[in-house]
Amino acid sequence: MHRQFLQFFLAGALCALLAPASSLAAPVRDTHWVAAWSAAMDSPGPRLSDQTVRQIARVSIGGSALRVRLSNLYGDGPVTLGPVHVALRAEGSSIAEGSDRELRFGGKPTVTIAKGDSVLSDAVALKVTPLQELAISLYVPAGAAPGPSTLHNAGMATAYLTEHGDATGSTNYPGTEVHGSRFFLSGIEVAGPVERHVMVAFGDSITDGVGARQNVYERWPDHFAARLRADPALATVAVVNAGIGGNRVLNDNFGPSAQARFDRDALDQPGVRWIVLLEGINDIGGSGQPATPKDDVSAEQIIDGMKALIARAHAKGVKIYGATLTPFGGAGWPYHSSRNEQKRQAVNAWIRNGGAFDGVADFDRATQDPAHPDRMLPAYDSGDHLHPNGAGFEAMAKAVDLKWFAP
């Protein structure tokens, strides 16, 4: 009897030693956690059932371990998700051999998220390098999401979906459907041996990256993260993108207003120390087609809204930098009009000279056409005269002062 038990014990131990990396992760020793990637949830989307969605996310800073945040902000009831896997991306929808890890939630492979809530996974050991692409695969069991999926609408990256079944651990992904949004995935945190800090790019569609090419990482926060990585002295600074297309300072429009989401999407990011605020264009545009009298906001109201955000950031010990509003001449109704241009100029003058921000990133001057300052330089224009293209986003990233982030 004792011999049989010993043989069984030794066999089990040998199996454990030979188990693949995906099933046995090394213990997590580093405890300095920081946000490395984010997507601000902004809308309800299609319901998934018995489907896997694999999403690609590029982290702005590396680490020895990670954890993932999933959101049910726009569900109309609880949603159950899992299994959920994370791996290093190879190419397309495939992952690197041996890098797959199953994520757990309180030690369990599935998690139920209450309506309007979010959850953070347990930590898993996986070495990631700065600007590395990860593949996060999550399975939505049949009937587990009775209502809409929670989305970040303009994902600027391809999400891969299966028609049916759990493919979370598949190296070569079998899904053939694609989508342009983020599903449930709202954040990735990484751990390292030293303390790091985060810059949050908080804004509207221009921060979100509308006008950039999909899957190319040419939004202004992407370019800025690459600038940081090129300077060894700034290796401890992470960048996360909290842009939402259509977002406003004052009123809900596409996604909750900046006032309503500022804590969740900016101040609550682990490790946040700086915020770059680029908001107000949609408040001005909305005043050109006011659905209600409160939408017809003045420059003074927009400025007061910014002052409220500045006060909230400073109360948390976070520095906040103001970005001037980029030109929109030629964008047409409801954005471009002489009245709206006067508002943009008034807001920009206050951002530059009001002394309320900790510094100014002059995105207006970085992108304007010197011959027509109310218009974007044609080389920087995505074509709609409102959103920059990749070159325009790069010019914006160069307008952010690296000295703000020096150790």
Residue 181: name the closest of 48, 30, 308, 67 by CA: 48
| C-beta separation of 216 from 245 below 8 A | no
Same domain, 123 and 168: yes
The tokens for 92 are: 């397309």
Domain end residue (candidates: 144, 171, 187): 187
Query: Is residue 48 domain-resident?
Result: yes
Same domain, 355 and 227: yes
Domain end residue (candidates: 162, 187, 212): 187
* 28: confidence class by pLDDT, cuts 50, 70, 90: confident
What does the alpha-carbon distance between residue 114 and residue 108 come to, in Å, rounded to a whole number?
Answer: 16
* 289: confidence class by pLDDT, cuts 50, 70, 90: confident
Same domain, 243 and 343: yes
Which residue segment(s) compose the domain that 131 sits in? 35-187
* 163: confidence class by pLDDT, cuts 50, 70, 90: very high
pLDDT at 143 exceeding the cut of 90: no
Any idea which residue has 């509207």 for tokens? 204
Same domain, 105 and 201: no
Strand blocks (E) in 167-292: 177-179, 182-183, 185-192, 197-203, 237-243, 272-278
Same domain, 260 and 162: no
- Collapsing DSSP to helix, strand or coil, 255 comes out as strand
Query: Is residue 261 domain-resident?
Result: yes
The tokens for 366 are: 């970085």
pLDDT at 6 exceeding the cut of 60: no
* Segment (H or E) for 396: helix 390-398
Q: Which residues pair with 69 in a beta bridge?
A: 120, 187
Quick check: pTM over 0.85?
yes
Residue 390: φ, ψ to 5°: -60, -40
Q: Tell me how far apart the terminal alpha carbons of the chain are, to the nearest angstrom.
A: 64
Helices (H), 49-97: none
Query: Is residue 148 domain-resident?
Result: yes
Same domain, 48 and 162: yes
63-71 vs 368-369, strand pairing mode: unpaired
pLDDT tens-digit map of 346-358:
999 999 999 999 9
Which residues neighbour 33 within 8 Å (Cβ) at sequence distance 6 or greater? Answer: 67, 189, 190, 191, 270, 271
Which residues neighbour 69 within 8 Å (Cβ) at sequence distance 6 or greater? Answer: 118, 119, 120, 121, 185, 186, 187, 188, 189
Query: Is residue 10 domain-resident?
Result: no
* 1: confidence class by pLDDT, cuts 50, 70, 90: very low
Sign of CA dihedral 348, 42, 310, 306: positive
Any idea which residue has 């079944």 for tokens? 165
Identify the CATH number of the domain in which residue 140 sits.
Answer: 2.60.120
Same domain, 183 and 201: no
Among the residue ranges 8-22, 104-118, 161-175, the one predicted with the least confidence is 8-22
Residue 304: φ, ψ to 5°: -60, -35
* Segment (H or E) for 340: helix 338-353
- Collapsing DSSP to helix, strand or coil, 150 comes out as strand
Query: What is 221-245 written as a DSSP string?
Result: HHHHHHHHHT-GGGTTEEEEEEE-T
Query: Is residue 213 domain-resident?
Result: yes
Query: Is residue 371 domain-resident?
Result: yes
What does the alpha-carbon distance between residue 367 and residue 378 come to, in Å, rounded to a whole number?
Answer: 9
pLDDT at 276 exceeding the cut of 60: yes
Query: Is residue 138 domain-resident?
Result: yes
To the nearest whole number, what is the mean pLDDT of the chain?
A: 92
- How many domains does the chain fold into? 2
What does the alpha-carbon distance between residue 11 and residue 41 come to, in Å, rounded to a whole number?
Answer: 47
Query: Is residue 2 domain-resident?
Result: no
pLDDT tens-digit map of 92-128:
999 999 999 999 999 999 999 999 999 999 999 999 9
pLDDT at 190 exceeding the cut of 70: yes
Any idea which residue has 């959103």 for tokens? 387
Peptide bond into 83 cis (omega under 30): yes
* 407: confidence class by pLDDT, cuts 50, 70, 90: confident
pLDDT (mean) for 176-196:
96
* 29: confidence class by pLDDT, cuts 50, 70, 90: confident
Same domain, 199 and 53: no
